[in-house]
Chains A and B, each alone.
Chain A
Amino acid sequence: MGSALSPLRRLPHACPIGTLDDPPRGLTGALLALRLRRNRQRLLLRAFRRRGQLSALADRTAQIAAGDILGFSCVRNEAHRLPHFLRHHRALGVRHFLFVDNASTDGTAGLLADQPDVSLWHTQGSYKASRFGMDWLTWLLMRHGHGHWCLTLDADELLIYPYWQTRPLPALTDWLEQQGRTSFGALIVDMYPEGPVSQGQVAPEDDPLAHLGWFDAGNYQVQVQPRMRNLWIQGGARARAFFAAEPRKAPTLNKIPLVRWHWRQAYVNSTHALLPARLNEVYATDGGELTSGVLLHTKFLPGITERSAEEKARGEHFGDAAQYAAYYDRLTADPVLHCGASTRYTGWRQMEALGLMSRGGWI
């Protein structure tokens, strides 16, 4: 089998600017399609097998109506972020949230179970063994997401897109459907405060962006991985401050959080990529621009230093935990991310002018 698949090896791992070609055809294309299909089936099977790890604490899924936009998240100790997270995405038009609580100890479960538009599942399972929560979410997506536009986010991500203050998500999804698109990309932008990251006070009801007012505007490295045609964007404040020695390990910043779901679809690697691979083409390859958004990343709220120390001890994060030890150490050391080249956030039009997102043809 290995030798039969050799044409695939000729595909580069990642294509920088100016080196991407059209998708492979012929034998290579057929072999690639077969392999991706097998991967997808494997992911779906994994999710199906792990469904037993979830126990429902509040199942309000009977409320879900046809056409509703659904939110999916896996959380752990996010009681501090969730009130604003819920408020922001409710206002955008998410009609029902489906949460997996992975063994929180800070009252997250109670907070979520009290919300009228939240269904909540609990699990003590290993975050890492469940592909960082994706197996659980894949099962919920399969079970409840089919036929809906589904917004899969972490609790420290706030979605913005062109005109988001005046046009709710259904306007965006209607537009995407009219364009024949069923997936929507967004770039994670790390937001950080002016001083050391542990300083300041942000109450759960506060808008975290009042405190996290700054970001890196123009240091994002773009590549496309030709097998799944997915983007691989790294950069931003974390790459600059923590990964200068090992840029390859810097966090991936491209996500595809909003997808019109079909039960046969599966996220591959967080929400950075999914299968079938055509859903990963959230970019125009003809020189034009497609509509895209930004995920404002509120990771660097004051609790970050303790949390990083804990994450490191827990060893449940991406990749080889030992590789990330240095990263967590630097975070625990309370760094200042702000610098003379930082940009103050003013809104989506600024993000668009800076080239971090685009209206595309949407007026």
Chain B
Amino acid sequence: MTGDSTLGIVMLCHADLDRAAQLARHWALHDCPVVIHVDARTPQDQADGLSAALADLPDIRFSRRSPCEWGTFGIVQATLDAATLMLAEFPAVSHVMLASGSCLPIRPVHALKAHLAAHPHTDFIESVTTADVGWTVGGLNEERFTLRFPFAWKRQRRLFDGYVALQRALRFRRRLPPGLVPHLGSQWWCLTRPTLQAVLSYPDRPAIDRYFRRVWIPDESYFQSLVRQVSNRIESRSLTLSKFDYQGRPHVFYDDHLHLLRQADAFLARKIWPRADLLYRTFLGPDGDRALAPEPNPGKINRLFAKAVERRLKGRPGLYMQSRFPTRAHGSTRSAAPYGVFSGFAELFDDFQPWLARALDARVHGHLFDFDRVQFAGGESVFKGGLSDSPTLRDYNPRSFLTNLIWNTRGETQCFQFGPADEQAIAPFLASDPNATIFAITGAFAIPLWRSGRSAAEVRAEAARLQKVESEFIAQLNGPEARASIRIWSLAEFVENPAEPLEQLVDALNPRAAHRVSDLPSLIPLQGFGAFLQDLRNQGMAPVLMGDFPADAELAQPHQSLPRPRIVR
């Protein structure tokens, strides 16, 4: 910019006026006239202190103080008054920048001036039609303009919400001033003198102002809508970096954001924490020029803020901790990662666990919910994260035990055995966890009983108990709450052709397995098991979960090789 055109700063302040004084001095020392508006609600002595602190600077003015309650027209009124004063007092001003007492210039003032000099007729103001904004909060978007908002959102929330609901119920709609197309955008703009002059002397100003007095958050729409009427070159972006959280509250920058702010492509940033000494020292210091980053990287800032919103709103699924504990209504039965639950397999195959670990490239535990001991893989007594093999510790809170186990081993698929002989309290959680893949061979619990060598008479009661427990488990898997992926075979069904189910489970849990499954675990010989079942029947029990198990002698050992070669993927 040359000597006859200058940048003027309109500064809206309400607290931390020592920082505001520091900022105003910075602008003034860089030949930018400043008009300061101090919120009428700020104590008079603080306002006096500010003017006293800046008394030595000739190009600073104070505009008439009006109350600036958030979301109300007071902020617009303050801006209008200060802008009017700016144009009247400083005829050399060619651009006016609206800033606040916590907007810190993060690039040198001369760079900002050079940018404006390169775009002498452009108005930098974010201005988007209501249909296109995605960032408004509270579902109020177009309704900001068609309803009335006489109540303060922060102080009179109930009245505010009630009045909105009432107007919606009555289908009340305000008429927009003729010709006005509502636009929304960041409060912080930088306008050329002619544009600002045209807004201030807009023919219908009194009617327009009356209308906007009942619009919600008019500071985000008054200038944004009116410039569309008077300007012919709008660049719809703000020169001020200003981020909001998901509830529309401004994010605050701290000392540790210095590096981040250097990568911003904006010229100012808000809000700066008043005690962020390093930021103020760096950007307002004589070396401020060096603060310029060689290459702005605004994408990084946007990603960081998007991630924070996601962390606040969605959290890390499967993590249950001191500041994340979802209620039942918010999908709270979910672990952190997919895992496999196997019922009946270890009973049917002697070497099932090592085979599964090979086939899936996963951590395969034994019966994690065994009554006597938590059977971690490798027989460890303390597992990752400090999980103890004590069954009492586990049973004290089985859901925490399981979600902790899955959380602690993120990145490695977990599998474990589960059966009717185990502690069952976790069963409803397993069934309702969408990350669980459950494979069950019903009736396999009878095999260890049969192999124990005890007579049918001796094990009858135990068999009946296990069958009852397993039936309840199966009922849960088939129940309305079940969200797990579930595959159930009866023992008879399974032994007819074990290869196919085994292939299915490898596909389900490790779809990208690099190596094909070339071997199968060895099925234990079942000769005599049919007779055992018949003995149980003779003892008065009805073994139903095994399915139609062939009556013994003719039971052929199913062949052990895969029926067809698998395609290597």
A residues whose Cβ falls under 8 Å from a Cβ of B: 16-22, 163, 166-168, 170-171, 174-175, 178-179, 185-187, 216-224, 231, 233-237, 239-240, 243-248, 254, 282-292, 339-343, 355-363
A321 vs B138: C-alpha distance when bound (angstroms)? 53
- By a CB distance below 8 angstroms, the chain B residues around A163 are 254, 256
Closest to A361 in B: B312
- By a CB distance below 8 angstroms, the chain A residues around B131 are none
- Which of B314, B325, B383, B399 has the most CB atoms of chain A within a 10 A radius of its CB? B325
- B304 on the A face (CB < 8 A): yes
Given contacts A217-B408, A287-B314, A341-B386, contact A358 B324 (CB under 8 A): yes
A292 vs B273: C-alpha distance when bound (angstroms)? 20
Do B323 and A290 touch (CB < 8 A)? Answer: yes
Do B331 and A219 touch (CB < 8 A)? Answer: no
Given contacts A175-B252, A231-B325, contact A237 B330 (CB under 8 A): no
- B397 on the A face (CB < 8 A): yes
Do B327 and A17 touch (CB < 8 A)? Answer: no
A283 vs B319: C-alpha distance when bound (angstroms)? 12
Do A358 and B328 touch (CB < 8 A)? Answer: no
- B320 on the A face (CB < 8 A): yes
A340 vs B380: C-alpha distance when bound (angstroms)? 10
Do B254 and A167 touch (CB < 8 A)? Answer: yes
B313 → chain A closest CB, angstroms? 5
Do A254 and B322 touch (CB < 8 A)? Answer: yes
A355 vs B256: C-alpha distance when bound (angstroms)? 22
B257 → chain A closest CB, angstroms? 8
Question: Which one of B255, B324, B403 lies within 8 Å of A289 (CB-CB)?
Answer: B324
- B221 on the A face (CB < 8 A): no
A339 vs B385: C-alpha distance when bound (angstroms)? 10
- B216 on the A face (CB < 8 A): no
B300 → chain A closest CB, angstroms? 12
- B329 on the A face (CB < 8 A): yes
A187 vs B320: C-alpha distance when bound (angstroms)? 13
Do B404 and A220 touch (CB < 8 A)? Answer: yes
Given contacts A290-B323, A360-B323, A361-B312, contact A247 B382 (CB under 8 A): no
0 or 1 for each of B142-154: is its CB under 8 Å from A? (1 = yes) = 0000000000000
Do A174 and B324 touch (CB < 8 A)? Answer: no
A251 vs B401: C-alpha distance when bound (angstroms)? 17
Do A341 and B387 touch (CB < 8 A)? Answer: yes
What are the 10 closest A-B residue pairs judged by CB atoms, nearest first?
A218-B385, A361-B312, A216-B386, A247-B396, A292-B323, A244-B390, A221-B397, A218-B408, A166-B256, A221-B400
- By a CB distance below 8 angstroms, the chain B residues around A240 are 382, 386, 388, 390, 393
A57 → chain B closest CB, angstroms? 33
Do B254 and A283 touch (CB < 8 A)? Answer: no
Do A233 and B385 touch (CB < 8 A)? Answer: no
- Number of cross-chain contacts by CB at 8 Å: 213
- B392 on the A face (CB < 8 A): yes
A340 vs B400: C-alpha distance when bound (angstroms)? 21
Taking A18-B333, A292-B321, A292-B322 as known contacts, 19 extra A-B pairs with beta carbons closer than 8 A to each other, sorted by chain A number, are: A20-B326, A22-B327, A167-B255, A187-B321, A187-B322, A218-B408, A237-B386, A240-B390, A244-B392, A286-B327, A287-B317, A288-B313, A288-B324, A289-B324, A291-B323, A343-B386, A355-B407, A360-B311, A362-B308
Interface size class of B (residues with CB under 8 A): 35 or more
A339 vs B275: C-alpha distance when bound (angstroms)? 43
- By a CB distance below 8 angstroms, the chain A residues around B401 are 221
Question: Which one of B329, B380, B382 lies within 8 Å of A22 (CB-CB)?
Answer: B329
B530 → chain A closest CB, angstroms? 42
A19 vs B332: C-alpha distance when bound (angstroms)? 8
A223 vs B322: C-alpha distance when bound (angstroms)? 9
Do A16 and B397 touch (CB < 8 A)? Answer: yes
Given contacts A282-B323, A283-B323, contact A174 B273 (CB under 8 A): yes
A287 vs B329: C-alpha distance when bound (angstroms)? 10
A17 vs B325: C-alpha distance when bound (angstroms)? 7
- By a CB distance below 8 angstroms, the chain A residues around B488 are none
Do A21 and B328 touch (CB < 8 A)? Answer: yes
A313 vs B308: C-alpha distance when bound (angstroms)? 50
Do B329 and A21 touch (CB < 8 A)? Answer: yes
B119 → chain A closest CB, angstroms? 31
A244 vs B328: C-alpha distance when bound (angstroms)? 29
Do A289 and B315 touch (CB < 8 A)? Answer: yes
- B251 on the A face (CB < 8 A): yes
0 or 1 for each of B401-431: is its CB under 8 Å from A? (1 = yes) = 1011001100000000000000000000100
Do B386 and A339 touch (CB < 8 A)? Answer: yes
B15 → chain A closest CB, angstroms? 11
- By a CB distance below 8 angstroms, the chain A residues around B399 are 16-18
Do A288 and B311 touch (CB < 8 A)? Answer: yes
A227 → chain B closest CB, angstroms? 15
Do B385 and A216 touch (CB < 8 A)? Answer: yes
Question: Which one of A18, A168, A239, A285 lies within 8 Å of B393 (CB-CB)?
Answer: A239
- By a CB distance below 8 angstroms, the chain B residues around A20 are 325-328, 332
B235 → chain A closest CB, angstroms? 27
- B245 on the A face (CB < 8 A): yes
Do B256 and A358 touch (CB < 8 A)? Answer: no
Closest to A215 in B: B386
A246 → chain B closest CB, angstroms? 8
Do B321 and A220 touch (CB < 8 A)? Answer: yes
- B292 on the A face (CB < 8 A): no
> Could you show 26 A-B contacts with beta carbons less than 8 Å apart?
A18-B328, A20-B325, A20-B326, A167-B256, A171-B252, A175-B252, A178-B249, A185-B322, A217-B408, A222-B322, A224-B325, A243-B393, A244-B392, A284-B325, A287-B313, A287-B314, A288-B314, A339-B382, A339-B386, A340-B380, A341-B382, A355-B316, A357-B321, A358-B321, A359-B311, A361-B246
- By a CB distance below 8 angstroms, the chain A residues around B407 are 218, 355
Do A17 and B403 touch (CB < 8 A)? Answer: yes
Do A361 and B320 touch (CB < 8 A)? Answer: no
Closest to B271 in A: A178
A86 vs B396: C-alpha distance when bound (angstroms)? 37
- By a CB distance below 8 angstroms, the chain B residues around A244 are 388, 390, 392-393
- B163 on the A face (CB < 8 A): no
- B358 on the A face (CB < 8 A): no
Interface set, chain B 294-317, CB cutoff 8 A to A: 304-305, 308-309, 311-317
Closest to A219 in B: B386
B280 → chain A closest CB, angstroms? 14
A301 vs B246: C-alpha distance when bound (angstroms)? 44
A286 vs B246: C-alpha distance when bound (angstroms)? 14
Given contacts A18-B332, A217-B385, A247-B392, contact A358 B311 (CB under 8 A): yes
Interface set, chain B 437-461, CB cutoff 8 A to A: none
- By a CB distance below 8 angstroms, the chain A residues around B309 are 361
- By a CB distance below 8 angstroms, the chain A residues around B311 are 288-289, 358-361
Question: Which one of B256, B304, B325, B385 lies within 8 Å of A222 (CB-CB)?
Answer: B325
- By a CB distance below 8 angstroms, the chain A residues around B516 are none
- B205 on the A face (CB < 8 A): no
Do B323 and A357 touch (CB < 8 A)? Answer: yes
- By a CB distance below 8 angstroms, the chain B residues around A287 are 313-315, 317, 324, 326, 330-332
- By a CB distance below 8 angstroms, the chain B residues around A355 are 316, 319, 321, 407
A21 vs B325: C-alpha distance when bound (angstroms)? 11
Closest to B250 in A: A178
- By a CB distance below 8 angstroms, the chain B residues around A248 are 396
A359 vs B309: C-alpha distance when bound (angstroms)? 11
Closest to B334 in A: A18
A251 vs B397: C-alpha distance when bound (angstroms)? 15
A24 → chain B closest CB, angstroms? 13
Do B328 and A19 touch (CB < 8 A)? Answer: yes
A289 → chain B closest CB, angstroms? 4
- B281 on the A face (CB < 8 A): no
Do A218 and B384 touch (CB < 8 A)? Answer: yes
Closest to B408 in A: A218
- By a CB distance below 8 angstroms, the chain B residues around A237 are 386
A234 vs B386: C-alpha distance when bound (angstroms)? 13
A262 vs B297: C-alpha distance when bound (angstroms)? 45
- By a CB distance below 8 angstroms, the chain A residues around B320 are 17, 222
Closest to B324 in A: A289
Do A357 and B322 touch (CB < 8 A)? Answer: yes
